[in-house]
Amino acid sequence: MSIYQHFRPEEKEFIDQALNWIGQARNLYSPKLTDFLDPRALHILRTLLGNDHEISLYTFSVITDAERKRAILCPDYFIPADDDFQVSLFELAYPKKFVSIDHRQVLGTLMSLGLKREKFGDIIISGDHIQFLAAAEIEDYLLANLEKIGKASVSLKKIDFEEILQPDEQWDEQTITVSSMRMDAIISSALNLSRQKAQALVESGKVKLNFKQTESSSIECLEGDILSIRGFGRCRILSVDGKTKKEKWKVTVGRLK
């Protein structure tokens, strides 16, 4: 039986990478540090690791409800310290009186520097203060190259984790029951919309699944998935808790306020 059949076809590349990480930790008997992983990728990694008694999985997070985390796979002799995760925290300095900068602009600018999304953690915005987490290995490149966001001149300052902001955004957790795990059913129940309205949102290109646009409302949602719905914010599938007596799925979701 192929391991891939338990996951989506488009997740094969990440599954191969994750299996390689686990193999490196086991065969070299040394820690393996990952890039920043979203909740779905982290769920896949945990599933692949299963009840492995030789390799442990640790993650690093300095904010409540962090969406992206670096992880370390390691033999049981090794317990990582915070420094082992090689994460840097930056704060943006910009002319706050004259310019407003949003999450999308920050991410777009970071990506335009030619760096992979996996090298960045969460972007934290609280009022007019903006911070973000990044892999320590790109620290020097960021400090040398991030000079503008849009038309605004900006500068970066590396700061200690004790100075981290808690984001303005908060996740509300709720339990829903759905007839199936189809995307339109999840959106309908989580957002309290009609099934027809939920289908229309997906099919008109207003929904992203794990940050990639999809126009198929029949896709089955899985644990760890993040749904970004234009005009409604984000939903995260926290856990799939089995079926009720009436054969409906019981699902715990987080919704971004």
pLDDT tens profile 47-98 = 999 988 899 999 998 887 788 999 999 998 999 999 999 999 999 999 999 9
Q: For residue 93, is it within any domain?
A: yes
- State pTM to two decimals: 0.85
- Amino acid in the structure at residue 110: L
What CA–CA distance (Å, rounded) separates 23 from 25?
6
Helices and strands (H, E) in the chain, number of each type? 6, 15
CATH of the domain at 133: 3.30.70.330
Q: Which of 163, 188, 209 is the last residue of a domain?
A: 163
Could you tell me how far CA 65 lies from the centroid of its own chain?
A: 10
Q: Does residue 61 sit in the same domain as residue 79?
A: yes
Q: For residue 26, is it within any domain?
A: yes
Q: What is the DSSP letter of 184?
A: H
Domain count for the chain, please give it: 3
Q: Does residue 183 register a pLDDT over 70?
A: yes
What CA–CA distance (Å, rounded) separates 147 from 243?
52
Could you tell me how far CA 139 lies from the centroid of its own chain?
A: 21
Q: For residue 2, is it within any domain?
A: no
In what order do the strands lie in the sheet containing 69-75? 32-37, 69-75, 55-60
Q: For residue 4, is it within any domain?
A: no
CATH of the domain at 183: 3.10.290.10
Q: For residue 242, is it within any domain?
A: yes
Domain membership of residue 226 as a residue range: 171-256
The three-state secondary structure class of 126 is: strand
Q: Which of 83, 114, 145 is the last residue of a domain?
A: 83
Q: Which of 163, 190, 212 is the last residue of a domain?
A: 163
Q: Does residue 180 sit in the same domain as residue 227?
A: yes
Q: What is the DSSP letter of 182?
A: B
Q: Does residue 29 sit in the same domain as residue 64?
A: yes
Query: What pLDDT is recorded for position 6?
Result: 85
Is 160 within 8 Å of 89 (Cβ atoms)?
yes
What CA–CA distance (Å, rounded) separates 154 from 168?
22
Q: Does residue 79 sit in the same domain as residue 102?
A: no
Q: For residue 3, is it within any domain?
A: no
Q: Does residue 101 sit in the same domain as residue 31?
A: no
**Average pLDDT, stretch 4-21?**
93
Q: Does residue 187 register a pLDDT over 70?
A: yes
Could you tell me how far CA 50 lies from the centroid of its own chain?
A: 21
Q: For residue 126, is it within any domain?
A: yes
Output the CA–CA distances (angstroms, integers) from residue 97 to 84, 100, 146, in the order listed: 38, 8, 20
Q: For residue 204, is it within any domain?
A: yes
